[in-house]
Amino acid sequence: MKPLFPKWMNTLPTVAFALVNGGVILVVAGMWYYATPKFWEVGYMPVQPDSGFNHQIHAGKLGMDCRYCHSHVEESWHSNVPSTQTCYGCHSEGKLGPQASATDEKVQFIRDSYESGKPIEWRRIHKLPDYAHFPHNVHVAAGVSCYSCHGQIAGMPVVAQAESLSMAWCLDCHRAPEEHLVPKDRVTDLYWVEREWMNTPVADRSVEGVTPEQLLDSLYRNPPEHCAACHF
């Protein structure tokens, strides 16, 4: 008569134990890796001066395009933060927008800055070390949405860093960019990108006949992996 359980199964509890143990080790290793300083920066959300600036109101509710304020992002390596002048256009009377009837304390700092000529000192959130260089214009022109690197900014009352900005993070996308490419006129349409594009499996994505393969083919160059592209 054959035994009910084959002999090798005697070792099963040991194997199971080893697997569980291995799992624990993986978790510990994972924590170790992600707890290194470069990953702490995810979620970095400094307190801004005065009443701050609310993207959820301006880019979300009012539907303002990112480029209204970050106006250099298509032409320059550097994405500028707007000057007081840009805010003053709407808040010149010290009101919440041109249509508002009464003045509001919350926007007084904009008039103060405008009248004194002293810029508002926004605290910087996303920052690479000086030895690494990042071109905004190239990414925007290639169809990489702000969403892929900054998260759902249009839904953030206060901006928080969404990604590690580590070298591994840059290279992960450079090796497989197709997942992140969106039709070029949608780069700043963050809600559309999140809901309609990123929520669809890559193979099923297409809008007005534009597919991820076509977007990949339209790249000016392949994303670089050689050191001198980012370190010079």
Instruction: Give residues 26-65 in contact with ligand HEC (rule: CB under 6 A).
Output: 38, 48, 51, 53-55, 57-59, 61-62, 64
**Minimum CB–partner distance for residue 115 and ligand HEC (Å):** 15
How is residue 215 written in tokens?
A: 């977007």
Q: What is the 3-state secondary structure (H, E, C) of the chain?
A: CCCCCCHHHHHHHHHHHHHHHHHHHHHHHHHHHHCCHHHHCCCCCCCCCCCCCCHHHHHHHCCCCHHHHCCCCCCCCCCCCCCHHHHHHHHCCCECCCCCCCECHHHHHHHHHHHHCCCCCCCCCCCCCCCCCCCHHHHHHHCECHHHHHCCHHHCCCCCCCCCCCHHHHHHHHHCHHHHECCHHHCCCHHHHHHHHCCCCHHHCCECCECHHHHHHCCCCCCCCCHHHHCC
CB 123 within 8 A of CB 130: no
How is residue 59 written in tokens?
A: 């880019």
- Residue count at the site for ligand HEC (CB under 6 A)? 76
**Minimum CB–partner distance for residue 213 and ligand HEC (Å):** 14
**Minimum CB–partner distance for residue 69 and ligand HEC (Å):** 3
Question: What CA–CA distance (Å, rounded) separates 32 from 4?
Answer: 44
Residues 198-227 that bind ligand HEC (CB under 6 A): 219-221, 223-225, 227
Residues 143-162 that bind ligand HEC (CB under 6 A): 144, 146, 148-150, 153-154, 159
Residues 90-109 that bind ligand HEC (CB under 6 A): 90-91, 96-97, 106-107
Give the residue carrying structure tokens 């106006």: 71
Give the residue, chosen from 182, 183, 187, 197, that forms a contact with ligand HEC under the rule CB under 6 A: 187
Closer residue to ligand HEC (CB): 48 or 206: 48
193 binds ligand HEC (CB under 6 A): no
**Minimum CB–partner distance for residue 206 and ligand HEC (Å):** 19
Give the residue, chosen from 72, 94, 112, 125, that forms a contact with ligand HEC under the rule CB under 6 A: 125
**Minimum CB–partner distance for residue 16 and ligand HEC (Å):** 37
140 binds ligand HEC (CB under 6 A): yes
Closer residue to ligand HEC (CB): 88 or 206: 88
Residues 2-31 that bind ligand HEC (CB under 6 A): none
CB 158 within 8 A of CB 151: no
**Minimum CB–partner distance for residue 176 and ligand HEC (Å):** 9
**Minimum CB–partner distance for residue 28 and ligand HEC (Å):** 21
